[in-house]
Structure 1
Amino acid sequence: MDSEREPVRVVIVDDDQLVRMALRLVVDGEPDLTVVAEAADGDAALLVVDEKRPDVVLMDVRMPGRDGLSTTRELLTRPAPPKVLMLTTFDSDDLVLGALRAGALGFVLKDTPPARIVDAVRAVADGNPVLSPVATARVIAAATGPASSGTRRSTRDTARKRLSTLTERELDTAKAIADGLGNPEIAERLHISVATVKAHTGNLFSKLAVENRVQIALLVRDAEE
């Protein structure tokens, strides 16, 4: 990382004081990361984020009162919101998909090795999605697994309606994002410039009312069900 770059500012949100302490030690042990505040619940998190303007929020999923999913949704309505990396001891399908649909850019389990947690913080700070191997498997299983025909039909129809607002090239870009391609690979696939890919991606964020590429990918997969 560029030595002249300001440290990534991190807020830790978890109802367990020992967990917050451990995460602070891990994050503050890195020269390019710094913890600027902690919060024990979602309501407190909203206040400290508004005050401290962090780059990344390490967000627990399950907390008393306002939970991590609700807090994430609320944070992402703010101007210039932080990136959110969800942390939990749980790994159910609903939690993984719920966090990603809420707008989180990453999802890792709390027993993830410290080095991988700080790497995940760096990645989401740069706008790159991060999923632990377990979370990735859960997302794939949930996207392809059984569900009631009515639920699947409703989800598919809603996704297709949202995608119908896109131009052909924007839809091609969305599908490439769903395939996990980065901007250079998308440019190569579609025979367009990287700048044009970025323009299309910006249009996707606006037209689909999403915050990140993970949400675009989930929407495309919902439409294909």
Structure 2
Amino acid sequence: MTTLPVRAGLPAARRTVLERRVRLVVAATITWNVVEAVVALSAGRAASSSALVGFGLDSVVEVLSAAAVAWQFAAPDPRRRERTAMRLIAVSFWGLAVLVTVDALRSLLGAAEPHPSPVGIALAALSLAVMPFLSWFERRTGRELGSASAVADSRQTLLCAWLSAVLLVGLLLTAGPGWTWADPVAALVIAAVAVREGVEAWRGDACCAPAGLRRDAPGAAGGSAPGTAADGCADGCCRT
């Protein structure tokens, strides 16, 4: 994996175009995830599926994360809101992990037994087709723009795609062989990945920041070479 080079001197016109693209993809992500959350939570409760409920909660977190980026880019100078947006994204990951873990443990302890969910299977398959594209588009734009929050939000969208695959496997194993334990185990996988992503979002707030806001910017005290472990980017949002 490679770190993101800082784009110095990005022309104002190009920056305006990229910021508009971020707003568009964020709006699309919010719209998609609102629908996804409603369907997943409804189907998950109906089927007593911890994984499906967890996926629905992840969609809610996706909305919160995208909203944080939308809030940032609504400002005249989005870079000044970068750190706060990253903190909001990190906290949203951790909130997801707690909620999903509690629900999964309840299921494993016998509080509820998951049932097959054709609606959930269809939703997971559709999400697996849509989310990678949204993630790629936002990540590409955020990397060129030098926005840590946009790149972090794209990682969360990509996480949603991977979780769609985990959810799909769990639901298929529940519906096919009748392995009811597969559903809460899939939910715990979702929670574990969310914790990791939250840590990286919290630590990676300076990775993709424009040169004027980076700790390693020219003239910054104790600055280090861009993309080095010393500037906090070792495992941060700038990696692909």
Regarding TM over 0.5, the answer is: no
Instruction: Tell me which of the two structures has the higher relative contact order, counting C-alpha pairs closer than 8 angstroms and 6 or more residues apart.
Output: 2
The structure with the largest alpha-carbon Rg is: 2
More strand by share: 1
TM-score range, shorter chain: under 0.3
